[in-house]
Amino acid sequence: MFTSSLFTLLPLLASIQSTFALDDTSARSASVYQIVTDRFARPSSVSSTCNTSDRKYCGGTYASITEKLDYIAGMGFDTIWISPIVENIGGTTGEGEAYHGYWTLDPDGFNSNFGSADDLKSLSSALHAKGMHLMIDVVINHVAATSSSTFQPDSAYGPFSDSSDYHPFCWISDYSNQTNVEDCWLGDDSVALPDLNTESSTVSDYWNNWVKTLVSNYTLDAVRIDTVKHVPKTFWPNFVSSAGVFTQGEVLNGDATYVGPYQNDAKVNPFNYPAYYPLLRGFNQTSGDLSELVAMTQTIQSNFNDPTLLGSFLNNHDNPRFESTVTDTSLIKNAHAYPFVSDGIPYGYYGSEAGFTGGADPANREPLWTSNYDTSSEMYKFFASLNAARKAAGNASDTFYSTQMNITSPSSSSILIAKQPLISILSNSGSSASDSSVTVQSSASGWTANTQVIDAISCETLTTDSSGNLAVTIKTGLPRVLIADSKKGSVCSSSSSSNSSSGTSSGKSAAIKLDVQAGWMISALGAVVGGLMMAL
C-alpha cells in the first residue's frame, strides 16, 4: 500500500522539481545575480586577508552562499549564477591560483575548495525552496595547463587524456580569422588553455552526456557557457539540447552581425556585448553619445532572432567595473538601470550594490564580506527598486518580457525606453546638471488622459495631461522608471516612507511571498515523502 502510494507520488515530485528549470519563456522574467563563488561569502571562522592582486583562494563556499540567500532575494534577484564547479589545476601559477574556477583539469572531478557536492546540492535545494533558480558556469572550449607548446595530456585530465582530444598547439593570433579563433589556444606561457577538439565525436559526445548529468545531479535551472565563440557553431545545438535548460553564452564581441548567428544558428542565447560597449561610452561621461546606443538597438533587432533572450549587463568578472572609471552617482545609476528596463535578461554583478570600484581582472573580483552585506546602502535599495518595477510590469502585462522595446532620444543627453507598461528615461547629464524636462507622448506609453504614474526610483507620483502625455522633470540627472499607478503592484507601497525603503520593501515582499509559497510546497511534499518512507 505504502509502496504504491510512494510510486504514485514520485511523478508529482518530478513535476514539481521540473517547474524550477528555466526555458526560453520563463527565463525572460528572471533576474540574475552573478557570484564569484570564492569571493561572495565564506565561513565566519575564516579571517585571513583577501587581496585581489594575490589571485589566491579566499575561502568562499557554497554553504556560505546558502546562508546569504535572503540578502540576494532582498534586492529582487531570483536567480544566481555561480562559478564553474569542476576540478581545476592546483598550486600557484604565474597567474595565481584557480580561485575563479575557469582552469579545468578534470571535468569529472569536483573543486573541493568551494565545499562538497552535497553542499552544492543543498544550495540548489535552498534556492528552490525560496522559488529561486541556480545557474552554473561551464567551460567547454579548453582545459588548463602550466605548459604550452610542450603540453602532453595525461590521466589527470580525466576524459581528455589523449593528445587526439586537442587541437595542435598554436596561440590565437588573428581574431578576424574564425578558424584561428576556434582551433588555436587561449592563455599564455604561464597558464595555457589547451583547446579541445570539439569536432571529434569522442569529445562532443562526452560533453553532451556530461552536461545532461550535471543538470540532473545538481537540479540546475540554467547553464552559463564560457568562450562560446571559440567553439564551432555546429557543436552547440546538440549541447544545448542535451542540457535541457536555458543557456546563456559568452560571445565576447561587440559586432551584432558577428554575435547574432550564435543565437540564430548555434542556439545559444548570447550576452549582449553589442549593447555593452555603447552603453559604457554613452554613460561614462556627461558628453557621451547616446545616439550610438539607440542605433545599436536597431542593429541588434535586425541581427538576432529574439533580443529579449539576450543577457543584458553592465558589470561582470571579465570587464572592469563601470565604477572604476566613473564616480558620478547619477551616471552610475543610469547605466545600471539600462539592463533592467530594456530588452533581455538583466544580470547584476555581486558588489555593484556595495559600490565596489575594482578595475580590470583581478581587481574586479573583490571579497563581498568586506561590505558586511549592508542592505541599507543606496545601491542595494536601487537594485531592489529596479527589480520591483520590472516584476510589476511583467505581472501587469503577459507580453512585457517578450515584446521588443522602442528607444528614442528626446534630447542629446537622454533616451526614452518604451517597453509597455514600463517607460524609462535615462540621462547622462550627471548629478550636477540643472533640471530638464522630457515629454512622454501617449503614443509611446499607452497612457490615457489623467493617468496617475509613479516613478519606481523616487516614488514621486505624476499625472498625464488631457491627451495622455506626461511632462517629466529630470532632477540631478537621475533615471526615471515609470509605470501607471494602477499597475505598480508593490512598487513604492503605502507602507514605505521614502524611495529607499519602498525599494527594499518591494524586493523583500516579493521574496517573502515566493519563500512562503515554494517553501510550503516543498516542505509539505517532504513531509509526505518522509512519512511514507517511515511507513516503509
Q: What residue numbers does the annotated binding site for substrate cover?
A: 103, 142, 224, 254, 318, 365
Contact 249, 273 (CB under 8 A): no
Q: Would you state the cell numbers that stand for residue 167, as one nine-digit string?
A: 587541437
* Residues annotated in a binding site for Ca(2+): 141, 182, 195, 226, 230, 250
Q: Tell me the C-alpha to C-alpha distance, in Å, between residue 225 and each of 81, 230, 246, 342, 444.
A: 11, 11, 11, 23, 36
| Residues assigned a catalytic role | 226, 250
* Crossing angle of helices 273-283 and 256-264, rounded to 10°: 140
Give the E-state strand segments of 335-460 in sequence order.
Answer: 345-349, 406-411, 414-419, 422-427, 436-440, 452-455
Q: Is 511 left (phi over 0), alpha (psi -120 to 50) or beta?
A: alpha
Angle at CA of residue 136, ends 13 and 100, nearest 5°: 150
* Residues annotated in a binding site: 103, 141-142, 182, 195, 224, 226, 230, 250, 254, 318, 365
> Rg (Cα) of the chain, in Å, rounded?
24
Residue 134 bridge partners (DSSP): 80
Q: Would you state the cell numbers that stand for residue 44, as one nine-digit string?
A: 565566519
Interatomic CA distance for residues 316 and 34, integer angstroms: 8
* Closest-CA residue to 506 (of 488, 532, 533): 488
Contact 403, 463 (CB under 8 A): no
Q: What is the DSSP string of 224-242?
A: EES-GGGS-GGGHHHHHHH
